[in-house]
Structures are given as C-alpha cells and as structure tokens.
A and B are shown apart, each in its own frame.
Chain A
C-alpha cells in the first residue's frame, strides 16, 4: 500500500483479555518499529525489527507484550491479560533501513482497556 497501515484503528477490550494489533509496513521496507503513546505523553519505544536480524525487544514493558514479524511484511503486536495502564495509541512505523532514512508512521491503533 501507499503508507503504513494499522488495524484495528480503535479497540476497546475488557481488562484481562488478550489483544492483537496488526501492522502492514510500506512494501520493501526492511525496518519496522512499534511505539506506544499514552495520553498526553511522548512516544515510548517497544520493539524494532530489521530484516532477518534478531529483533530489539528492549522496550517491551513486560512479558505480557510480544511481537512477531513474518519476513519483511506484516507484524503483529500481542498484549496478553490487558491492564488499564495498557490503554494507549500503539504506533507502527517502517523504513528502508534505519539510519538517516525517513521513518514513516501509521495512524496508530487506539487501545482502551476498561
């Protein structure tokens, strides 16, 4: 597609349920990122995929969070046993390669845990 596509755009879930958020990066982009933006706060790095290298998971806040990426295409961020503090916008981004090249963001998936 023309840009980074994320789904769902909005998700309301009950505390304790699992959620999956999907990201379709721009075709050909080897680098893919997930960020979290809580209301009124900055962007918090979660995880980074680059080609076939091992992902950088250093930003994942707990073991309830995990992400996968199939080759250089779709990525899925999974949050297990959701908590209210997980409520945020989850942003996906991609680029051809990381350093110096433009990183393009999707519009995000708004997650509300009630």
Chain B
C-alpha cells in the first residue's frame, strides 16, 4: 500500500537558517505529492504540490521537487522566518486509491 515517511521532529532553527524536512514515499505508479502546513490554532492548508516526476512545487519561499528515482519530496526553504513555525505534513494521493496518505508530521519552531 501507500505510505509516507517524513523526518521526525521537532525541529528548532534560528531565523534565516536553511530548512530541509525530508520526505520519502512508497507507492505504485505515479502518485501526486503534497506538503500541507498546520499553523498554531489553524486548520490544515495546502502549501505546495507536484503531480509528476521532476516537477517542483513552490509557495511562500518553500520548494519541493518530485524525485521518482529516490521516491522523495523533500521540503526546503532558504531562509526561515518565525512565522514559518508550524507542523508540516508530507502526503500523497494515488490514482485508483483515492485516499490522501499523510506522514506523521514535523513540528518546526523558528526562534528569533
């Protein structure tokens, strides 16, 4: 079946540091890949997505590239801000198995 494995948290970084949150997946075929973010006290929101190999999703300075050869979709940001503090979830959805499968989430805290 489908599964998503993401970096264990929590992650604490200083403002303006470089961020990587690793995500790898197991799925048959060609899933679509997503990063969702949950800010404190808010609902889950889509951050970015990629629907085919080598696609790069980007939003709010975050990027992730769909790497089929390594079955990965790592989230990166060059310079994090305090406002990026949140829980980040990697997820996939596969045609024919229409459930969105999530990783366990990575809590990110950015300190000034």
The count of residues in chain A whose C-beta lies closer than 8 Å to any C-beta of chain B is: 23
Q: Write the nearest CB–CB distance from A50 to chain B, whole angstroms.
A: 6
Cα A30 to Cα B95 with chains together (Å): 15
* Chain B residues within CB distance 8 Å of chain A: 32, 34, 36, 42-46, 49, 51, 89, 93-95, 98-105
B93–A99 touching, CB < 8 Å: yes
Chain B interface, >50% SS class: strand
Pairwise interchain contact B99-A91, C-beta atoms closer than 8 A:
no
Q: Does A111 make an interface contact (CB < 8 A)? A: no
Given the contacts A42-B89, A106-B43, A107-B42, A99 and B94 also touching, CB distance less than 8 Å: yes
| A41 part of interface (Cβ distance < 8 Å) | yes
Known: A48-B98, A50-B98. A102 touches B46 (CB 8 A): yes
Residues of B within 8 A of A108 (CB): 43
**Chain A positions within 8 Å of B51 at CB level:** 100
State in angstroms the CA–CA spacing of A48 and B99 once bound together.
7
Beta-carbon contact of B93 and A45 below 8 Å? no
**Which chain A residues lie closer than 8 Å to B101 at the CB level?**
45
Interface membership of A93, Cβ < 8 A: yes
Enumerate chain A residues within 8 angstroms of B103, measured Cβ to Cβ: 42
